[in-house]
């Protein structure tokens, strides 16, 4: 496995680049906007293809690199389903798996620092975001923080991982880079408590100043969605009601860009073909299945995903390949549900 731990000294943030092999798909966890060029340089040097950019939670101390990485690489942006961010391509929930070629991370909902905090687990390591830090824990005094929830996240979920599990947090302010679950059980001073009430007492009396960038970072990180106005202006978007009228027509092919786990959880529009977003380019290029489908039958491609971000990027790619009748469902399956569109499971 290719694994790189990257550091932003201004916000003391760790970001993590993972891939199963050189030349393969990669994902990055907790990217910082100011470091995006460095990440992309490293991706090029390792001959990788960035397919997913993930935030463990809505950050208050730096501006996320999710949107910039999406704009530069067409990667999928990923957060937990509780996020207050306007649009991310994929929203995960407890028990999901975050996958890419050769790797699968288990998704664990670990609220407390924020109500959208998630951790990501590989067999030998866990990426804990701001929930569990090295010899510390993430503050819980933000409006959507909760010390009791964090206690359960740590003691009920994370500390039940094997003691040898490596702990990689989103921040460290002392220069430490990695710990283990066993070390944190033994030496983390905030975990040497006998009850949840004792933990809450500690967390409620930290008296920490707000992060310097909080007033800038939080609003910015809630507005990371792809700007789709230009897609709509060019006539490449269909709202949910328009899509309802298109579904089932013999001259239309509905194309579902979501991953299998999303389809199982969110439901499927009847009659849709499944072409996962990472496989789109090969399918719309000349000789690809979708390209040949349009060429031989004249069908119009109607692309959709979970919230409209992947499909907006996909319709631009389809247009670039000469599939000029292609459009996408604005707001994705989320908007389709709100319009009472039919679904099968």
* Token pair 């971000």: residue: 309
Residue 225 DSSP one-character state: S
The chain-wide mean pLDDT, for the chain, equals 97
Question: So what's the pLDDT on residue 143?
Answer: 87
Residue 298, pLDDT score: 96
* pLDDT > 90? residue 76: yes
The answer to whether 33 and 68 are in contact (CB under 8 A) is yes
Is the per-residue pLDDT at 164 higher than 90? yes
Residue matched to tokens 């951790």:
119
Q: What pLDDT, on the 0 to 100 scale, is given for residue 297? A: 96
Quote the percentage of the chain above a pLDDT of 90.
96
Average pLDDT over residues 194-201: 98
Strand blocks (E) in the chain: 2-8, 13-19, 25-29, 49-54, 76-80, 90-92, 97-100, 103-109, 118-122, 125-129, 132-133, 136-137, 166-169, 179-180, 237-238, 252-256, 273-274, 300-304, 327-329
What is the average per-residue pLDDT within 164-171? 98
Rounded Cα–Cα distance for residues 217 and 82 (Å): 18
Residue 25: band (very low, low, confident or very high) from pLDDT cuts 50, 70, 90? very high
Q: What does the alpha-carbon distance between residue 261 and residue 13 come to, in Å, rounded to a whole number?
A: 30
CA dist., res. 105 & res. 119, Å (int): 9
pTM metric for this prediction: 0.95
pLDDT over 90 (residue 229) = no
Residue 281's pLDDT is what?
Answer: 96
Mean pLDDT of the region 6-11? 97
User: pLDDT-derived band of residue 93, with 50, 70 and 90 as boundaries?
Assistant: very high
Task: Give the integer Cα–Cα distance in Å for 248 and 209.
Answer: 57
Q: What is the pLDDT of residues 286-330, one digit of tens each?
A: 999 999 999 999 999 999 999 999 999 999 999 999 999 999 999
Q: Is residue 342 within 8 Å of residue 269, measured between CB atoms?
A: yes
For the segment 103-159, what is each residue's pLDDT rounded down to a tens digit? Answer: 999 999 999 999 999 999 999 999 999 999 999 999 999 989 999 999 999 999 999
Contacting residues for 57 by C-beta, under 8 A, at least 6 apart = 79, 80, 83, 113, 114, 116, 117, 118, 129, 130
Using one digit for the tens of pLDDT, what is the confidence trace for 47-65? 999 999 999 999 999 999 9
pLDDT at 227: 83
């Amino acid at each position: 496995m290719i694994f790189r731990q990257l550091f932003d000294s201004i916000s003391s943030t760790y970001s993590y680049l993972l891939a199963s092999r050189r030349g393969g798909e990669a994902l990055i966890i907790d990217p910082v906007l100011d470091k995006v060029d460095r990440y992309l340089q490293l991706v090029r040097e390792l001959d990788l293809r960035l397919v997913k950019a993930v935030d463990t939670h809505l950050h208050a101390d730096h501006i996320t690199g999710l949107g910039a990485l999406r704009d530069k690489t067409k990667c999928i942006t990923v957060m937990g389903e509780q996020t207050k961010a306007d649009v991310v391509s994929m929203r995960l929930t407890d028990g999901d798996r975050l996958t890419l070629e050769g790797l699968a991370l288990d998704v664990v909902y670990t609220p407390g620092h924020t109500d959208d905090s998630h951790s990501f687990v590989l067999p030998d390591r866990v990426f804990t975001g701001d929930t569990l830090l090295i010899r510390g824990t993430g503050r819980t005094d933000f409006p959507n923080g909760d010390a009791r929830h964090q206690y359960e996240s740590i003691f009920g979920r994370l500390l039940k991982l094997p003691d040898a599990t490596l702990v990689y947090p989103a921040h460290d302010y002392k220069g430490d880079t990695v710990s283990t679950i066993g070390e944190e059980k033994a030496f983390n001073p905030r975990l040497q408590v006998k009850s949840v009430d004792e933990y809450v007492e500690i967390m409620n009396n930290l008296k920490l100043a707000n992060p310097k960038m909080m007033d800038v970072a939080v609003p910015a990180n809630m507005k990371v969605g792809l700007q789709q106005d230009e897609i709509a202006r060019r006539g490449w978007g269909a709202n949910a009601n328009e899509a309802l009228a298109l579904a089932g027509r013999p001259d239309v092919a509905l194309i579902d860009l979501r991953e299998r786990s999303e389809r199982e959880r969110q439901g499927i529009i009847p009659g849709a073909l499944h072409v996962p977003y990472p496989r789109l380019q090969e399918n719309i290029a000349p000789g690809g299945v979708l390209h040949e489908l349009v060429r031989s039958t004249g069908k119009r491609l109607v692309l959709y995903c979970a919230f409209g971000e992947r499909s907006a990027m996909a319709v631009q790619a389809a247009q670039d390949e000469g599939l000029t009748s292609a459009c996408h469902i604005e707001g994705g399956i989320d908007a389709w549900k709100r319009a009472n569109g039919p679904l099968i499971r």
